[in-house]
Amino acid sequence: MRTDLRRFLGKCLLFGVLMVLLISLLFKISDFAIKQKMPQFFKISNDINIVFAGDSNVECSINDSIVKGSLNIAQSGEAYLYSYVKLRELLDCNKQIKTVFIGFSFHEILKEKEDLLLFQDSYIIEKIKLYNYLLNKTEKGLIFKNNHLAYLKGFLQSIFNNVVVFAKSCASTDSRSILVDFGGYLYLYGNKLKEDIRLQENTKQESSGKSPEKGLQQEKYLKMISQLCRQKSVRLILLNTPKHSYYSNRITKEIKDNWLSVRNSLPQDSLMELSSFPLSDSCYYDITHLNCIGANLFSKYLNEQIYFDKTDALEKDGD
Amino acid sequence: MVFLTYWFVANRNLRQQNILLLLASYVFYGWWDYRFLLLLVSITIINYLVGIWIDSDNNHKRRKILLIFDLIINIGVLCIFKYFNFFVDSFIDFLSIIGYTLPKSTTQIILPLGISFYTFLSLSYIIDIYKKNLQANRNPVEVLLSLSFFPIILAGPIQRPSSLLPQIAQKRYFNYDKAVDGIRQILWGLFVKVAVADNLAPEVDKIFQNYADFNSSTLFLGIVFYTIQIYSDFSGYSNIAIGTAKLFGFNLMQNFAYPYFSRDITEFWKRWHISLTTWFRDYVFLPISFSISYRMRNGNIFGIKRDHLIYISASIITWFLTGLWHGPSYSFILWGLINGFFLIIYHLQLKQRKKLFKKFGINNNNIIIVCVETFITLCIIMLCWIFFRADNIQEALFYIDGMLTRSFFSLPELMPVKAIFFSVIFIFSEWIQREKEFALQIDRVSLPALRWLIYIGCICLILFLGGGNQKFIYFQF
């Protein structure tokens, strides 16, 4: 019996070692391959000199086919850390980019939001899968330290993702078709505003008791985005996209103060405070996201503003 | 860790092996919520004691009283934890229909994990003793272990103590082939759960949550996905449980036998969640059938044959309870009754079908007949799953309504490549391996290197392409 047991354990051990070696090898190859191709697929059209980054608020609000010469790379559930690493690579490869818009909604800087976007299992797995090859040791360490299991899961999934991106980059030279999971305008059809308001009403009591805390990592990486833009001589504009009045009315003074203090720590960057941009209910998908009707109207408006360069005037209005 | 301790430290005698497994079972269960461990321990101790009392008493009346007492305890606990909110809300709804308005209950009782499973284990233990099919075991460790064995405690298979206890009472010796088979079964279970079910889950959720926004073909795709998801999710867990038990030297019953390849609904229910359906057959359907047949006179009643009437009545009660077992909601009950309805229809047409086939000289095993019947059975099952998955009956009806429009013939609005890829791999593997206990039983592949390659392929698919963190669907039951 003992011999059988030892044989069984020996084979399991051998199998385990083989698996670890194989995974390490696959990771090294895929990582090396993708890094070789990176300058090629991060090079976007020379006509594009404006980039929109951020989370789902920007993702659903800006239709980059309407805003001339722009590219939307915002993605749902994106923390500033991921926006930073994406921008770092994009700005390195594209000297023609002159302006970066970064989502700067009231809730974005909250600790609650940071815990969700940066350290929750499903977000980590999804983002590490997509962006592991863009992260440096410090950035990986931050995530790993806080949730190592989710990081490992995302890391394993990133191997296959790297292979896919690499294969696409071999087959095509169009960066938009290679970086399909890199973010972009999300066309939302329909309107779930009433349902969302009903849902918010039901959860009202649960959330009202908590005092808002600032998310330190979110703040840190927003500042790093600002620094990066300055180094690259790119203009950074903080963009607070339109929100439904139901949402705006529920933003407490403490949240606004937090938001303002972060904004004031970035005096060299502009702000477009358009959270109360006048839009009818039919333009919203839910209380914080625009549907395609709203995105069309808002993108047209933004296009006019950008090309008539009224951003400074807007900032004064907002403040 | 338990595996190593079990075979290296506790292998000297049976008692050590059982104590270690019992402790491991309690730690495993208590890990989810230690408070419910107390409930599990209390229930199993009560059943252990009542089992001895029933067994040692020869007075029929007293035995019956003890049985009823135990049934009340077990079913009572199940009703309180699982059905309390449902019964109270239903009662309030009923009162509102007849004009009395009461506020909705705000008490929300948390459902202990696996309660339906271990209650059924306990019930079968006591009923078997009462019927003298099983002798009460005096060894507390063995009885408690048989009612709380960790691989089966959360979601089955509902391995009856009558078949588990003899294995527990015998010392286990390590068997290389059995352990390899067990680990292979665990791997297959993980593959179907993580790679298949978890990749389908987000697509199914998306379609069912926004069914009003999608065209008919997408809704159809949604139910096809759910049909595969629920099977892979649940059979995945069963495979993991059975494989784990094999590592410790136990043989558990097969819980799924490729049910979607069934020719008719009766065959489907003989292959789906076998441990539950046989439980209901032995402890509900047959006793009810016998009980009715004793009370019913011979001849036709309301123009229906006596045998048919017995079958119909017993089926309705059994399937009502099967639906209710799955959860405290009307949609589960209706799901159960719809299954019962199709089983009755199938039962009633059997003789006529035979006559018709004979008259026209049709071979029952004709490949076209087999394919058509398998397809029809699958459609019926998918229809039933809509009620199982939807949040309520109204939603299920809207879903079906949305599925039956002209856009059924247009292309689906969603084409999730990963989900389709894994579904195809899964169905294909199941089909070619349908004679085996599970699809990864690849003994006939003589080259060890090729076998290892298949295992590595499975693990890579799990690790690199596995879905997100999804709970097992059957944990909620």
Cα(A127)–Cα(A109) distance, rounded to whole angstroms?
A: 19
Give the angle B50-B56-B57 at the CA atoms, nearest 5°: 90
- Percent of chain A at pLDDT exceeding 70: 91
**Residue A225: predicted pLDDT:** 94
What letter would DSSP give residue B476? Answer: G
- Residue A84 binned pLDDT confidence (cut-offs 50, 70, 90): very high
Beta-carbon separation of A157 and B468 below 8 A: no
**Residue A104: predicted pLDDT:** 93
**Residue A299: predicted pLDDT:** 93
Greatest pairwise CA separation for chain A in angstroms:
83
The predicted model gives A254-283 an average pLDDT of 89
**Residues of A at the B interface (Cβ-Cβ below 8 Å)?**
1, 4-5, 7-8, 12, 15, 18-19, 22-23, 121-122, 125-126, 153, 156-157, 159-160, 189-190
Beta-carbon separation of A12 and B183 below 8 A: yes
Beta-carbon separation of B464 and A160 below 8 A: yes
Q: Where are the alpha helices (DSSP H) in A132-252?
A: 137-146, 148-171, 175-178, 193-208, 216-231, 245-250
- Provide block-wise average pLDDT over 10 residues at a time, chain B (477 residues): 80 85 89 84 91 88 90 89 76 74 66 82 91 88 88 82 87 90 94 92 89 89 94 92 92 92 92 92 91 77 79 92 86 92 91 87 86 93 92 90 86 87 92 90 85 91 79 56
- Nearest CB among A1, A7, A156 relative to B173 is that of A1
Q: Is B175 on the interface with A (CB under 8 A)?
A: yes
- Nearest CB among B8, B176, B464 relative to A157 is that of B464
Identify all chain B residues contacting A8, using CB atoms and an 8 Å cutoff.
174, 176, 179-180
- Residue A316 binned pLDDT confidence (cut-offs 50, 70, 90): very low
**Residue A161: predicted pLDDT:** 86
Report the chain B residue with the minimal C-alpha distance to residue A152: B463
Q: Pick from B194, B452, B464, B471 the residue to mutate for testing the A interface (most A CBs within 10 Å).
A: B464
**Residue A239: predicted pLDDT:** 92
Identify all chain A residues contacting B173, using CB atoms and an 8 Å cutoff.
1
Q: Report strand pairing: A235-240 vs A70-72.
A: unpaired
Give the type of residue at B243.
Answer: G
**Residue B228: predicted pLDDT:** 94
Q: Is B459 on the interface with A (CB under 8 A)?
A: yes
Please list the helix, strand and coil fractions of chain A in percent, rounded to the nearest 5, in that order: 65, 10, 30
What are the b/e assignments for A114-135, b being 16+ CB within 10 Å? beebbbeeebbbbbbbbbbbbb
**Residue B108: predicted pLDDT:** 67
Identify all chain B residues contacting A19, using CB atoms and an 8 Å cutoff.
456, 459
Q: Is the pLDDT of residue A2 over 80?
A: no
Beta-carbon separation of B174 and A157 below 8 A: no
Beta-carbon separation of A5 and B7 below 8 A: yes
Report the chain A residue with the minimal C-alpha distance to residue B448: A11
First vs last C-alpha separation in chain B: 29
| pTM for the model | 0.81
Identify all chain B residues contacting A7, using CB atoms and an 8 Å cutoff.
176
Q: Is the pLDDT of residue A287 over 70?
A: yes
**Residue B285: predicted pLDDT:** 92
Cα(B17)–Cα(A230) distance, rounded to whole angstroms?
A: 68
- Nearest CB among B173, B179, B456 relative to A22 is that of B456
Beta-carbon separation of B465 and A160 below 8 A: yes
Ranges of each domain in chain B = 2-93+112-171, 175-256+411-477
Those residues whose C-beta lies under 8 Å from the C-beta of residue A157, and which sit 6 or more positions away, are: A125, A128, A129, B463, B464, B465, B466
- Residue A309 binned pLDDT confidence (cut-offs 50, 70, 90): low
- Residue A200 binned pLDDT confidence (cut-offs 50, 70, 90): confident
Whole-number Cα distances in Å, A312 to A226, A238, A273, B317, B332: 17, 12, 11, 74, 60
Beta-carbon separation of B456 and A23 below 8 A: no
Shortest CA gap B174–chain A (Å): 6
Q: Is B465 on the interface with A (CB under 8 A)?
A: yes
The predicted model gives A72-89 an average pLDDT of 92
**Residue A313: predicted pLDDT:** 41
Q: Is B414 on the interface with A (CB under 8 A)?
A: no
pLDDT tens, residue by residue, A227-263: 999 999 999 999 999 998 888 888 888 888 888 889 9
A188 touches A289 (CB < 8 A): yes
The predicted model gives A14-24 an average pLDDT of 92
Q: What is the ipTM of this complex?
A: 0.74
Beta-carbon separation of B463 and A190 below 8 A: no
Q: Is the pLDDT of residue A114 over 90?
A: no
The predicted model gives A257-276 an average pLDDT of 89
**Residue B78: predicted pLDDT:** 85
- Nearest CB among B183, B464, B468 relative to A159 is that of B464
E-assigned strand segments in chain A: 50-53, 70-72, 99-103, 235-240, 270-273
Q: Is the pLDDT of residue A59 over 70?
A: yes
Q: How many Cα atoms occupy the beta-carbon half-sphere of B119 within 13 Å?
A: 22
Beta-carbon separation of B179 and A189 below 8 A: no
Cα(A290)–Cα(B107) distance, rounded to whole angstroms?
A: 38
- Nearest CB among A5, A18, A159 relative to B174 is that of A5
- Residue A310 binned pLDDT confidence (cut-offs 50, 70, 90): low
B147 touches B118 (CB < 8 A): yes
Query: Which residue in the block uniquely carries the two structure tokens 């929750």?
Result: A120
B123 touches B44 (CB < 8 A): no
Show which residues of B are catalytic: 326
Residue A237: left (phi > 0), alpha (psi -120 to 50), or beta?
beta
Q: Is the pLDDT of residue A209 over 70?
A: no
Q: Is the pLDDT of residue A169 over 90?
A: no
Identify all chain B residues contacting A121, using CB atoms and an 8 Å cutoff.
468-469
Residue B81, both tokens:
């934890």
Query: Which residue in the block uniquely carries the two structure tokens 């929100």?
Result: A243
Q: Is B236 on the interface with A (CB under 8 A)?
A: no
Shortest CA gap A8–chain B (Å): 7
Beta-carbon separation of A122 and B468 below 8 A: yes
Q: Pick from A2, A3, A8, A153 the residue to mutate for testing the B interface (most B CBs within 10 Å).
A: A8
* CA B108 to chain centroid: 25
Q: State the average pLDDT for chain A.
A: 86
Burial of residue B443, with CB atoms counted within 10 A of its CB: 0-12 exposed, 13-18 middle, 19 or more buried: exposed
- Nearest CB among B173, B174, B469 relative to A122 is that of B469
Beta-carbon separation of B176 and A4 below 8 A: yes
**Residue B477: predicted pLDDT:** 52
